[in-house]
Amino acid sequence: MPGYVIGNFFVYSIINAFTPGPGNILALNTVTNYGWKKGAPLFCGIFSGYYVVQLICGVFVFGVSTLLPRGLGVMKYVGAGYILWLAVHIAFGRPDGEDREGSASFWKGFVLQFVNVKIYLFGITALTGYITNYSTSLPVLIFFELVIATIGTIAASAWIGVGLAIRRVYMRYYRVINILLGAALLECVYGILK
């Protein structure tokens, strides 16, 4: 595989991973609301879900491509619905509340990744656009999907870091920030359904 192809793969992966998406926005919102310690289970769920979804993408690209269009069609609407729910939840959420403990759960972050159409499309596009012209071997596809998941985890961690850095500002202006984050998620829904 030529070096420029690997370079393009990394550029595409980094740009895609660091752009706002449901996982990154939820990570940012969670750390600003609950802090690192209480948000850690959700972050672990986001990271774990990312790896599992990318492994699924590798298997799809390898051999189950006939099921892919139908599966993504369903995931598109399920994902849009879940992201819409998150947008409303974030936009109208408060930093203090009775649901503080329950909302930063591992399963919330993990399930988000399964309905996050962005990362399915990200993983599949990266493989089919850059890798499959040179190799369709399952170990190679899985390796590159794990690279994608690692880049995605680094990106989500960066969003968590930003959230930690702005936490004081957030506590003061949470309403405006939550509405902006909710609007960003609505744009994600629009992008999915467009």
pLDDT confidence of residue 192: 60
Least confident residue range of 57-66, 74-83, 103-112: 74-83
| Whether pLDDT at 177 is above 80 | yes
**2 Cβ contact list (under 8 Å, min separation 6):** none
Two tokens at 16? Answer: 């895609």
pTM as predicted: 0.74
Average pLDDT over all residues of the chain: 82
pLDDT confidence of residue 66: 46
Residues 94-118 have pLDDT tens digits of: 765 444 445 688 998 898 888 888 8
pLDDT confidence of residue 64: 52
Average pLDDT estimate for 183-192: 74
pLDDT confidence of residue 19: 79
| Whether pLDDT at 38 is above 50 | yes
Winning range, highest mean pLDDT, from 3-7, 55-59, 70-74, 80-84: 55-59
pLDDT confidence of residue 95: 63
Average pLDDT estimate for 143-159: 95
In the chain, how long is the greatest CA-to-CA distance?
Answer: 55
In this predicted model, which residue has the larger pLDDT, 64 or 21? 21
Q: Phi, psi at residue 92, to the nearest 5°?
A: -105, 5
Domain boundaries, the chain: 3-193
pLDDT confidence of residue 72: 46
**Cβ atoms < 10 Å from Cβ of 108:** 19
CA-closest candidate to residue 49, choices 19, 15, 92, 79:
79
